[in-house]
Every structure is written in structure tokens, then in C-alpha cells.
Structure 1
Amino acid sequence: MGARGLIWVTRSEPGATATGQALIRRGYAPLIDPVIEVVVRAATVDLDRFAAVALTSAHGARALATLTSRRDRPVFTVGDATAEAARQAGFGDVRSASADGAALATILSHAPPDGPVLWVRGRDAAFDLVSALAGIVEVKPLVAYAAEPRRPDAALLAAEEGRIATVLIHSPRGARLAVEALGDRPCPPAVCLSDAAADAWPGPILAVAATPDEPALLDALGKARPPV
């Protein structure tokens, strides 16, 4: 692999491994050492009470699959990656907003389900779907998972310090946790998923993804630091 040094992948699993595989296909050498770990918090859920499910992350799709054996409710997702995770979990009727939380609220308001919507969310959701659909659709939130800090392998980071050419930053929280993991070491240049993630990174910014998704992030990396 002829990339200029290692690309540190800080996102949580299973996305970190998927990103690492995509980097290898593009000619880079990944260092997969997440700073966040996703932990399922809920126990079970009774889908009989709900007409549909709303998902605002792929983690929510995977958490939902562990909380119920039912796959017969329509699922509305914030974006295509979340929709694909829901389909991989066995849900057949999946409809993607292909954008953000506001777009998800829009498609739900244009064709409201005939009953309450279960919103499977993380503990630290950035968008409030309940407020966005107040008076239009009854949304019941379920905090099904939490993104907990994960301490990277300090010995690994120390050993590879001189070889880390770029870090991929997916969120502001990921940026802060990566800085903590580095300690007194200098922050390597970053390619960030969003402006908010870039604002949280104190080191050099090589590029910001044109849209907040993984293909755009990898395209930004390719333009800023092509493999050699």
C-alpha cells in the first residue's frame, strides 16, 4: 500500500472496519483505532404499539434489530446509509429521506403513518424529531444506544505516531476524544465529515466533505492527500 503514511480511522465499529476496507481499496493504509464505542441500552421493544419506525442513524437500525424480531413495520430513515443498515437487518419497507433530520421530518409530515412512530435514537441525538413533528405525527422516542468514549491503544498510537499522516474525523465529539487520546502529541492533519467536526479539531484541516457521508469524506481525502 503506497499511501503517504497511515490514515487513522477514529469512528466507531462496525463503521470503522468498513471505512478501513474502503481505504485499502483506494490505496491507503488504515490505522483502525476508534475513539467511540456504541453500546445498546434498551432491552426489548413492542412494535404492536407503533405504525412505523424512524431511524436517524445506522446504529439505530442495528440496535432495533437486536430489540425485536419483528420486521413488518415501515421504516423511515434519515439517509441512505441508515436505510441500507435497516435493509441488511431484514426490514423490507424502508424509505430514506436521503438527507438529514429535517428531511426525515418532512417525509413523515407529508405522509403521516396511521398511528404513533417509534423513534429509535441515541442518547446524544443532535436533531429533535419529536419537536419537529409536534402536532403532526406522534413520535415516541426510545433511547436504544449510547456512544461511549473508547480509549484507543496508547502503545499503538505511540508506536505509529510518526507514521500517522491523516486522521478522519466524523463528529465534534470524535474530534475531542481523538485529541484526548493523543495527549501531548501533535494533532495530525484531518479530513472531516462536516464543518462542525472541523471546528472541533485543533490541528490542521486538509479538507471537509462536500456532503456529510462516507463517500464524500473519502473523496475529500483523495483530493487532499492522493495515495501514491
Structure 2
Amino acid sequence: MTRVLITRPHPGAGETAARILALGHEPVVAPLFEITARQWAAPAAMPDAVMFTSAAAPREGGPAMASFLALPCFCVGARTAAAARLAGFTDVRAPDVDDGGALLAAIAAAGKVSVLHLCGLEIAGYAPPPGLRLDRRVVYGASLHGWTDEERETARGADVALVYSPRGGEALAAALGAGRSNVRLAAISRNAASAAGDGWAARAVAARPEEDALFAAAKLLCEKQADKAPLTRTG
């Protein structure tokens, strides 16, 4: 049974753990961050669209999102899109893009001229393409959750670690230290893999920024390990 380290915050960590268990593997839940909603003020002018680059944003956006639920809502990844629908957005679109920069380009290509980005406190500074006005509002913060020594040792005993963001990759590498040399890393994006750095037993990057693709990358790592073949894959 493969031990799969899940570092994403709750409630997503619990959802992923249930999926891992259903696939016949052992989930090792050790969140690196804690999510906290933040108060935010809606812009005075109505945008043409809303965008999300993480599932936490629609979950934590709260009542202030009510005025925007009927707007076109652009998301990175299927899980973020599902969270947006659950929050009440009725026109949810998930273009085949890897990050916020590509999503902004897709929004501009759709003919929108203004977009409201509801996001976390720490986010990559994607610049909008010419002609697209971008208004960012921080709706949640993710604070680092320090592991106990016991949690760190348990994490080092995992076979595969799942990483969902660049900040998560950086934090996981720091938390495991040299102990990551025995852990295989499955990252949801190239940026997340890059932030995690080198020193892993092997690495694989999801073909798309979605959990199903991340699981496929983790499965590839397990298959290569079974074959005793070295693997470093970046996409």
C-alpha cells in the first residue's frame, strides 16, 4: 500500500484523503497551512467577469460575493470550478490553462474588459493583457502550520507527496529538509515543482492543474518505482 502525503489545508485535505483511501492507498494527512477568511469590500463598479485561481477563494469569499454570482466566472482547474458552482456561481468556465496568467489571457480572448480576481493573500503577480482591467480582492489568508517533530517524521515516511501550489512546494521542501530524498514528489504545476526544488527521490508534474491529473502523476511515480527505474519528469 502506497503512503500518500497530503499537505493541502482542510477541508480539501479530508476530501483528498477520502479519494486516496478509495483508490486503495494510505493517506497521510499533514496540512502545511491553515485557511482563514478575510473581510473584503466589493468594488463600486460591476466587472465583466470574476476569476478564481484556487478553490479556497470561492469557499471563503462569503456573502460579499452575492452581487457577482450571475457573472461569467473563470477558473483554473476543475476543482476550483466545482467550488465556484458550490458557492452559487451559475456561469462557470474552466479553460484549459495552467495558471492565472493564462487565465487572464483567456478572459481577454472572451471579450471581457474588466475582471474581479478573488484570491488569497499571497498570490503570483500575474499582469493582465492590454485592454483588460484587473481588480484583485483578498478574501482569505493561508498561514503556515508548523509541524511537530512527530508529524515531520511521519511525513518523511511517506512514499509520495502531493503538492498543490508553489508556496506549498517551498514549504514542504523546508519542512522535510534532507528527509525528502526518500520521498517522491507529485506537483500540480511546473511552478509548484520548481518551488519544491531538487533533492527528491523522483518528481512528476501533472499534465493539467487538476487533482485527477495530479493523481495520474503520482501513479506514474509509483509505477516507475516498482520498475526500479529513475524518474525526473517536468511535464
Tell me the TM-score normalised to structure 1 length.
0.81
**Residues matched between the structures, number:** 220
Q: Which whole-Å CA distance do the structure 1 matches of 2:208 and 2:180 have between them? A: 28
- The answer to whether residue 63 in structure 2 is matched with residue 69 in structure 1 is no
Alignment partner, residue 110 of structure 1: 109
Code of the residue aligned with 1:204 in structure 2: it is A
Per-residue deviation, 1:12:
2.1
Q: 1:193 aligns with which of 188, 194, 198?
A: 188
| Deviation per residue, 1:112-131 (Å, 9 max, x gap) | 34x74211122222251xx3
Bigger Cα displacement from structure 2, 25-34 vs 60-69: 60-69
Tell me the TM-score normalised to structure 2 length.
0.78
Code of the residue aligned with 2:60 in structure 1: it is A
- The answer to whether residue 55 in structure 2 is matched with residue 58 in structure 1 is yes
Q: Is the 8 A contact 1:118 1:142 kept in 2?
A: yes
| Deviation per residue, 1:42-93 (Å, 9 max, x gap) | 3343576333312222122223245333333332223332221100111112
SS in 1 for 2:61: helix
Per-residue deviation, 1:146:
2.5
Q: Which whole-Å CA distance do the structure 2 matches of 1:65 and 1:96 have between them? A: 21
Per-residue deviation, 1:33:
0.8
Q: Which whole-Å CA distance do the structure 1 matches of 2:37 and 2:57 have between them? A: 9
**Larger RCO of the pair (alpha carbons < 8 Å, separation 6+):** 1
Residues 211, 44 of structure 1: alpha-carbon distance in 2 compared, 3 angstrom cutoff: same
Alignment partner, residue 232 of structure 2: none
Residues 152, 118 of structure 1: alpha-carbon distance in 2 compared, 3 angstrom cutoff: same
Q: 2:200 aligns with which of 198, 203, 212?
A: 203
Bigger Cα displacement from structure 2, 85-94 vs 67-76: 67-76
Q: Which whole-Å CA distance do the structure 2 matches of 1:111 and 1:171 have between them? A: 26
Q: Which whole-Å CA distance do the structure 2 matches of 1:206 and 1:97 have between them? A: 26
Bigger Cα displacement from structure 2, 215-224 vs 100-109: 100-109
Q: Is the 8 A contact 1:80 1:97 kept in 2?
A: no
Alignment partner, residue 147 of structure 1: 142
Residues 7, 145 of structure 1: alpha-carbon distance in 2 compared, 3 angstrom cutoff: same
Q: Is the 8 A contact 2:35 2:142 kept in 1?
A: yes
Q: Is the 8 A contact 1:118 1:140 kept in 2?
A: yes
Q: Is the 8 A contact 1:112 1:137 kept in 2?
A: no
Gaps of 5+ in 2: 227-235
Gaps of 5+ in 1: none
Residues 197, 162 of structure 1: alpha-carbon distance in 2 compared, 3 angstrom cutoff: closer
Code of the residue aligned with 1:216 in structure 2: it is A
Q: Is the 8 A contact 2:188 2:208 kept in 1?
A: yes
Residues 208, 56 of structure 1: alpha-carbon distance in 2 compared, 3 angstrom cutoff: closer
- The answer to whether residue 73 in structure 2 is matched with residue 79 in structure 1 is no
SS in 2 for 1:27: coil
Code of the residue aligned with 2:163 in structure 1: it is I
